[in-house]
């Protein structure tokens, strides 16, 4: 009974931690969250327009594979601004389904949620590196409030592409620790898939300069030991 109680407390603690990591970006960016100020740049005219166009046509039973509004027309599904194949992006259609509309404020909330994804992924990665709780938790909160991450919120595709970078690092680190190979594979696969489909090609190119060197370096036992990644390596891995 005592063991079950401890497990429940541990689960509630983890849930509270993840909840705080997810909510903090919305609290920190309260002027945007509350719609007191609006996002500028291309946020409305390019990114939101595509999402609104796609969701409204889908709601009418039309799959918008083609956009006739640019030049003589172009394939909409291959336009990175449309973010057509980004699975988390389809939450906008669910919002439209519930509210019968998709507003600029709804889309801004969706964009800010990328910081929540980044924050949780960063925390999990740091904890997998055996970083103590408070440094990992604090660093994750601070990182998602950095000028660079908050600055790219005006580019929703870039914000969501960057959100999955720490998740890939988390999956690679988990694999390097020889822990749960199936889970680490799925984390790496889907996180990188989301980066590829988030609709910001620049970050796809940048990712190779981060993930490949990190994977290469972390594959060495000496580096893993320095980072305290794996204190219980089986003899065959030593």
Mean pLDDT of the chain: 87
Record the tokens describing residue 118, joined without a space: 């980044």
More confident residue, 236 or 1: 1
pLDDT value, residue 228? 56
- pTM here is 0.89
More confident residue, 1 or 71: 71
Q: Mean pLDDT throughout 22-45?
A: 90
Q: Does residue 194 contact residue 86 with C-beta atoms inside 8 Å?
A: yes
Residue 229 has pLDDT above 60, yes or no: no
Least confident piece of the model among 20-29, 49-58, 181-190? 49-58
Alpha-carbon distances, residue 180 vs 11, 23, 211, 225, 231 (angstroms): 19, 29, 20, 19, 16
Extended strands (E) in 8-83: 66-67, 74-75
* Torsion angle (degrees, nearest 10) of CA 200, 68, 54, 204: -10
Separation between Cα atoms, residue 109 and residue 67, nearest integer Å: 26
Separation between Cα atoms, residue 97 and residue 57, nearest integer Å: 12
- Grade residue 37 by pLDDT with cuts at 50, 70 and 90: confident
pLDDT value, residue 40? 77
Q: In this structure, what DSSP letter does residue 98 have?
A: H
CA–chain centroid gap for 207, Å, is 14
């Amino acid at each position: 009974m005592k063991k079950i109680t401890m497990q429940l407390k541990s689960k509630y603690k983890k849930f509270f931690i993840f909840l705080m990591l997810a909510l903090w970006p919305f609290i920190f960016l309260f002027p945007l969250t509350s719609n007191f100020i609006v996002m500028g740049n291309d946020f409305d005219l390019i990114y939101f327009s595509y999402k609104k166009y796609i969701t409204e046509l889908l709601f009418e039973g039309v799959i918008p594979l083609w956009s006739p509004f640019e030049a003589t027309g172009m394939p909409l599904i291959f336009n990175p601004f449309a973010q057509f194949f980004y699975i988390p992006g389809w939450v906008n259609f669910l919002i439209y389904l519930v509210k019968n509309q998709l507003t600029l404020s709804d889309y801004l909330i969706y964009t800010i949620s990328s910081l929540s994804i980044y924050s949780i992924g960063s925390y999990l990665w740091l904890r997998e590196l055996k970083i103590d709780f408070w440094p990992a938790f604090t660093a994750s909160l601070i990182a998602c409030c950095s000028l660079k991450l908050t600055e790219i919120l005006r580019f929703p595709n870039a914000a969501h592409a960057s959100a999955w970078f720490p998740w890939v690092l988390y999956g690679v680190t988990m694999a390097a620790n020889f822990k749960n190979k199936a889970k680490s594979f799925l984390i790496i696969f889907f996180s990188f898939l989301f980066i590829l489909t988030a609709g910001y090609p620049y970050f796809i190119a940048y990712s190779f300069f981060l993930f490949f060197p990190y994977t290469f370096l972390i594959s060495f036992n000496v580096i893993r030991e320095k980072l305290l990644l794996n204190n219980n390596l089986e003899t065959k891995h030593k």
